[in-house]
Amino acid sequence: MKKFWKPPFSVNEKAKKLILTMKLTVFIVFLTLMQVSATVYSQATKFSFRAENKQVVEVLRQIEDNSDFRFFFLREQVDVERKVTVTARDATVEQILEELFRGQPVSYEFANEALIVLTRSDNPLGSVNSYLQGNLQQPAVSGKVNDSSGQPLPGVTVVIKGTTRGTVTNADGEYSLTNIPEDATLVFSFVGMRTQETTVGDQTRINVTMEVDAIGIEEVVAVGYGVQKKVNLTGSVGVIDAEKLENRSVGRLEQALQGQVSGLKIVQTTGQPGNEAIDILIRGKSTFTDNPALTLIDGIPSSINQINPNDIESISVLKDASSTAIYGARAAGGVILITTKKGKTGKPRVSYDNYVGFQQPSRFPEKVTAYEHAILFTEGEMNDDPNRTTFKYTDEDIARFSSSDWADHNWAEAILSDALQTQHNISVSGGSETQDYYVSGGYLYQDGIVINTGFEKYTFQYNQNIKLSEKFKLGFNGSFISDKRTAPSEASVPGDGNVRGVIHLMDRVYRWGNTIPFKTPNGDWATVEGGLEPSAIGINSEEGGQQILKRKKVLGKFNLDYSITKNLKLTGIYGINWEQNRQRDFSARMKFYDPDNPDDVTWDNSENALLITNSSSNYQNSQLLINYDKIFDAHSVSVLAGYTREWLYQDSETVGRRDFLTDDIYAISAGSADRASWTTAGVASDWALASYIGRISYSYKDKYLAEAAMRYDGSSRFVEKIRWGFFPSFSAGWRITEEDFLKDNDILTYLKLRLSWGQVGNQNVGYYPFADILAIGEYYFNNAVQKAVYTPITPNPELTWETKTGSNLGLDGNIKNGLFSFEFDVFKERTEDILLNVPVPTAYGKPAPVQNAGIVDNKGWELELGHRNSLRDFSYGITFQISDATNKVIDLYGTGPWIDIANNNITEEGHPMYEWYGYKAEGFFQSEEEVQNHSFQAVQTGPGDIKYQENGGNPNTITPDDRVRLGRSDPRFPYGVRINLDYRNFDLIAFGQGVMSHKVFNNGWTAYNFDRSYSTLFKYHLDRWTPETPNARFPKTRIGGSSLNAQFSSFWLENAAYFRLKNVQLGYNVPQNVLTKFKLERARIYLSGENLLTFTKLLGFDPEIPTGTTTRLVEKRYPLSKIYNIGINLTF
């Protein structure tokens, strides 16, 4: 709210603790304080003290602290910072005020017996007075404000919303206001408490209970199978509330979570709408296996993307093993709990949110021009073979590329464009004594920044809780999501040799030089490089066909609560997560022409093709839970026990035909009847899990906290005799500020120490590696397909889950009631029985079996800092979070080091996983002599090539023995900063995120100097070695030459540390008088942007897109977007 009022001071003990007080240094002599009749209070209350060189405000506060008097003033009118020296001896308040304001244009007036209003005497009709006129003469509403423990709360500001009129509560927490307009809303605010709003309506008496805000005494967070007061948490749980997700123009929830919670690392690898690949990692990598975080929406496991972010009330990120142990064998990667919104008691409340904006590519490297390309290529040909007499680009070509008639063929420009993004959201919520409801509908439209891509999504959420009787409560949470993704076709005719799809398109756009036309002069699609392939733009455009994926998802949960006694509750839950997908992929007939002889068809896709894939998955979950909660004097006990069963079944079938009569028929039967050209495929899989869960929590005076939890899981993924696993955890907490010696201090509002230990598992061993499965292949005799089989894996029937044992130490604190806050965690975890494909000697002749073999340690820390404050009508908050996690391989079952040549990394006991491994570059050779004096590298090596460090082995030759560790491959120190500012009707939110250290291998067609003869280079490659530029960034230009500079070496490792301004929102709240006119409760318009600024040293590419190892990843990826939006939020 916009604070017009300087909040007055208070004397109440409780309030004193909560109020943001400045330390007073005046000495106090406190004489008498007599509570007499109201009319004589001012005369009967006497003060004795001396204040020397103190601000007026400090003196006023002194009086307030020692009496029931409240002062009320505007800083604009009364100079309270003026220093004075005052001596009072048995003085009345009036005498003191006379003394204080002697010679000042200040007058005072008793608004009631204890409220004294100070105003400028030369401005007697100022705003304060005018307010007082109305306030005092026509009382219309009055009431009492209590805190949650029932104690009256003095000093609470009560304002009529949208006006500058208001009052403060007196020592008994009482207030009264007059001249209340129709449809008025009262806003109750008090520093350290959550601001509350109440509609007046016909009421004349409104009592309010304020809740503590800053340290969230009452705030509850979702934990496994229940909720817990945040202050009583003993594990490590990060919380993201709805506010932090508001108005983010992201297609997927994960994007909005990035950088919000320490220890939660989110990496988006492609930007294709509806197909974003997003990795979530909680507390870094602690195993070699796939170990995703378990996500649950309202208690039912689900994909994290199966929700409209607008429907989220809060998200809990369970990080340590004690918080997650109750999820047992699936919890080793951490757990994310999403809670959806719930209706609140009151009249129906309708909210509408909308934004519209456009997206642009965030970062896209610029290629060299055609002319530069030809010059560089020729230079490379000369460098590779000085005897060469013929070159790819003739002098005429080069002259043509440099002439003013020549226009570069800019592939990137041809496929990229600004794209529209918009979202509408409407929700209705409300409730009564017996039920509450929340209903919402959402629509997202995201056009792609790349041709032929786009996404649309409809979401519905329906939540309702009904109190059937005193004993029975019924709840329902359900969502339905329907979306549609459009992308280039990938349905190639078998054997037509065409590669298609977004990845192919991006690959070619990065790779082809500006010398290469994608259309002929006639405007037809061209083949490239003399018929090598059809232009990727043509084949992936809408003319080439389209892949349309339509998904429908239903997530539903029923729960029935039965309160057997006041303390004992039985809950039955049934949840379902159902998904049905249908993908229709159609590629059209197309002709491609020779750009030099534009009438000549050089590529004829004479057959069209249709592939239809239907897939479905059906997950069911049933739970029976018993809760027992009881408070015995100072002891509080809570017990949970339960049994759950889960099943998943999924399947998928693909059918395809080709050679359809026209390009418009989308039914399979319309295709060729030649069975040899049909495609069919299908897979299915299932698993089941049965589990017993239990938890007991105990607290003594909310001061000493202890908890034990366990899960006993039986998984169908393992053979019967080793199917069951037990996962225990213990944790304890100490709320130090509840101790008597700290209870009443003014500085430390809250301090808690947490300690936990637990074990969790990872059951992601794939589907049935214990069985020696057979794979089906084929061979051909007599021109006919013959069935063929082989065993693709080495089975391991003894396989069981990985077990992670972790401990966590945490310290949470809050200073001066929210002025500063911090959460600090250190953790250490060891994962044992890691599923390893322990490398086996090649003579074994089969892939390595998966074994429970490895041990990896992971340790790290997380820090979150917060600061918030308000200065007059300006309030702000800053949160900063940073974390780090480092792993170390302890045991590889006696094997290793594992050198992964394809991925250029090494894993060895005693070192982090996947360290870079290759030659150490020592700059460039500058002379033939230097080449001769150095270890032999290759026959062709010469000046301008990269020099590799000799490290033993054969001392005269650079061999694989000379490879060394080149540093960690995983990013370090992910961090995030969030700033909120509120000034009058304006608010500003800025949120940024980054990593502090990351070495990446930016490999691609274009990373090296002409990696292939079919690739181009980027502008930054112009900075290459020549005899004239010996200190260039890049070695001398070469074509291919995989044994030369393109070998993996430290030279190609780049620094991809970055900071990115993820989101900025500038909002304006429409003033109350306008709102009233349109019968609105809230209206806000805002401008926002995503990914607006990026700071990084990485050349060319987006630092968030992880660069590749084997495959040329970076150059196959859909660029991330920058988004500019304008939006509104309305509430009726």
Partner 1 sequence: MDQPSSETFWNSAEDAEMWVNYLYNSLPDFESVLREDWSDNGFHQSISIIAAGRHTPSTNYVEREWDYETIRRCLELFQNIEKIPNISQERKNELMGQARFILVFTYFEMMTLFRDIPLVKEPLPIEESDIPKSPKQEVLTYILEQIDMAINELPVSLTASQSGKITKGAALALKARMLLYNERWEEAAAAAKQLMDLNVYELHPDFGELFISETDNKTNEIILAYQYVKTVKEHQLIRRLHAIGNGGFSQVTATPSLANAFECIDGLPIDESPLYDPENPFENRDTRFYETFIFPYQTINGFYYDPLDPANWLSLTFLHFRKYINDIEKGKITGDSNWILIRYAEVLLTYAEAKNEASGPENSIYDALDLVRLRAGMPVVDRDKYNTKEKLRMLIRNERRVELSVEGGGLRYFDIIRWRIAEEVLNTIVTSFEVPGKLPKNNLDTWVFDPNKHYVWPIPQSAIDKAKNLEQHPEWQ
CB of 786 to partner 1, least distance (A): 5
Contact 787, 807 (CB under 8 A): no
Q: Is 494 in the site for partner 1 (CB under 8 A)?
A: yes
Q: Is 768 in the site for partner 1 (CB under 8 A)?
A: yes
Q: Report H helices in 512-548.
A: 536-540
3-class DSSP state of 881: strand
Residue 389's CB: how many other CB atoms inside 10 A?
A: 5
Q: Is 29 in the site for partner 1 (CB under 8 A)?
A: no
Q: Is 648 in the site for partner 1 (CB under 8 A)?
A: no
Pick from 30, 666, 700, 767 the residue near partner 1 by CB under 8 A: 767
Of residues 1006-1045, which lie at the interface with partner 1 (CB under 8 A)?
A: 1012-1013, 1040-1043
CA atoms within 13 A on the CB side of 296: 23
Helix axes 93-100, 56-65, angle to 10 degrees: 170
Close Cβ partners of 575 (under 8 Å, ≥ 6 residues apart): 299, 300, 555, 556, 557, 558, 620, 621, 622, 623
Pick from 176, 306, 369, 602 the residue near partner 1 by CB under 8 A: 602
CB of 835 to partner 1, least distance (A): 16
- What tokens were used for 484? 């549609």
Q: Is 1077 in the site for partner 1 (CB under 8 A)?
A: no
Of residues 941-970, which lie at the interface with partner 1 (CB under 8 A)?
A: 953-954, 959-960
- Select from 278, 683, 677 the least CA-distant residue to 491: 677
Pick from 29, 33, 40, 773 the residue near partner 1 by CB under 8 A: 773
CA distances from 546 to 491, 895, 918 (A): 9, 48, 42
Pick from 92, 146, 195, 794 the residue near partner 1 by CB under 8 A: 794
Pick from 604, 664, 739, 928 the residue near partner 1 by CB under 8 A: 604
Q: Is 783 in the site for partner 1 (CB under 8 A)?
A: yes
Of residues 416-435, which lie at the interface with partner 1 (CB under 8 A)?
A: none
CB of 1106 to partner 1, least distance (A): 23
Backbone φ, ψ for residue 759 (5° rounding): -130, 140
Pick from 575, 839, 1035, 1103 the residue near partner 1 by CB under 8 A: 839
399 sits in which H/E element: helix 395-402
- Select from 210, 228, 83 the least CA-distant residue to 147: 210
Nearer to partner 1, 201 or 494 (CB): 494
CB of 775 to partner 1, least distance (A): 7
Site string for partner 1, 532-561 (x = CB under 8 A): x-----------------------------
CB of 517 to partner 1, least distance (A): 12
Contact 886, 861 (CB under 8 A): no
Q: Is 1121 in the site for partner 1 (CB under 8 A)?
A: no
Pick from 113, 219, 241, 397 the residue near partner 1 by CB under 8 A: 397
Pick from 85, 148, 345, 685 the residue near partner 1 by CB under 8 A: 685
From CA 455, how far away is CA 482, in angstroms rounded?
A: 11
Q: Report H helices in 467-580.
A: 502-511, 536-540
Stretch that binds partner 1, among 410-418, 451-459, 807-815, 937-945 (CB under 8 A): 937-945
Nearer to partner 1, 564 or 788 (CB): 788
Q: Is 932 in the site for partner 1 (CB under 8 A)?
A: no
Nearer to partner 1, 635 or 846 (CB): 846
Of residues 250-309, which lie at the interface with partner 1 (CB under 8 A)?
A: none
Close Cβ partners of 797 (under 8 Å, ≥ 6 residues apart): 719, 770, 771
From CA 681, how far away is CA 670, in angstroms rounded?
A: 19
Q: Is 784 in the site for partner 1 (CB under 8 A)?
A: yes
CB of 590 to partner 1, least distance (A): 12
Pick from 633, 790, 952, 1077 the residue near partner 1 by CB under 8 A: 790
Nearer to partner 1, 522 or 1043 (CB): 1043
Q: Is 791 in the site for partner 1 (CB under 8 A)?
A: yes
- What tokens were used for 1035? 């070695």
Q: Is 778 in the site for partner 1 (CB under 8 A)?
A: yes
Of residues 329-388, which lie at the interface with partner 1 (CB under 8 A)?
A: 385, 387-388
CA atoms within 13 A on the CB side of 422: 5
- Select from 1094, 1090, 1097, 1093 the least CA-distant residue to 1064: 1090
Contact 948, 920 (CB under 8 A): yes
Contact 702, 716 (CB under 8 A): no
- What tokens were used for 805? 């044992």
Q: Is 898 in the site for partner 1 (CB under 8 A)?
A: yes
Q: Is 903 in the site for partner 1 (CB under 8 A)?
A: no
Q: Is 598 in the site for partner 1 (CB under 8 A)?
A: no
Pick from 523, 845, 952, 1031 the residue near partner 1 by CB under 8 A: 845
Nearer to partner 1, 27 or 780 (CB): 780
CB of 531 to partner 1, least distance (A): 5
Q: Is 901 in the site for partner 1 (CB under 8 A)?
A: yes
Q: Is 497 in the site for partner 1 (CB under 8 A)?
A: yes
From CA 286, how far away is CA 624, in angstroms rounded?
A: 33
| Residues β-bridged to residue 958 | none
For the chain, the straight-line distance linking the first and the last C-alpha, in angstroms and rounded, comes to 18
Pick from 103, 150, 841, 952 the residue near partner 1 by CB under 8 A: 841
For the sheet with 915-918, list strands across it.
898-900, 905-907, 915-918, 964-965
From CA 610, how far away is CA 657, in angstroms rounded?
A: 6
Size of the site for partner 1 (CB under 8 A): 81
Q: Is 938 in the site for partner 1 (CB under 8 A)?
A: yes
Q: Is 939 in the site for partner 1 (CB under 8 A)?
A: yes
Q: Is 23 in the site for partner 1 (CB under 8 A)?
A: no
- What tokens were used for 718? 């393992």
Nearer to partner 1, 105 or 910 (CB): 910
Close Cβ partners of 913 (under 8 Å, ≥ 6 residues apart): 285, 288, 856, 887, 889, 907, 970
For the sheet with 185-189, list strands across it.
166-168, 157-160, 185-189, 196-199
From CA 822, how far away is CA 222, in angstroms rounded?
A: 20
CB of 302 to partner 1, least distance (A): 23
Which 3-state string (H, E, C) describes 825-857? EEEEEEEEEEEEECCCCHHHCCCCCEEEEEEEE
Q: Is 681 in the site for partner 1 (CB under 8 A)?
A: no
CB of 582 to partner 1, least distance (A): 20
CB of 533 to partner 1, least distance (A): 9
Q: Is 857 in the site for partner 1 (CB under 8 A)?
A: no
Of residues 737-756, which lie at the interface with partner 1 (CB under 8 A)?
A: none
> In terms of DSSP bridges, do strands 294-297 and 335-340 run parallel, antiparallel, or are they unpaired?
parallel
- What tokens were used for 279? 């990795």
Stretch that binds partner 1, among 274-282, 325-333, 515-523, 789-797 (CB under 8 A): 789-797
Distance, C-alpha 371 to centroid of its chain? 43
Of residues 659-678, which lie at the interface with partner 1 (CB under 8 A)?
A: 674, 676-677
Contact 1042, 1010 (CB under 8 A): no
- Select from 785, 750, 824 the least CA-distant residue to 236: 824
- Select from 716, 710, 712 the least CA-distant residue to 647: 716
Nearer to partner 1, 710 or 835 (CB): 835
Site string for partner 1, 62-101 (x = CB under 8 A): ----------------------------------------
Q: Is 909 in the site for partner 1 (CB under 8 A)?
A: no
Position 1115: which residue type? Answer: E
Nearer to partner 1, 288 or 364 (CB): 288
Q: Is 531 in the site for partner 1 (CB under 8 A)?
A: yes
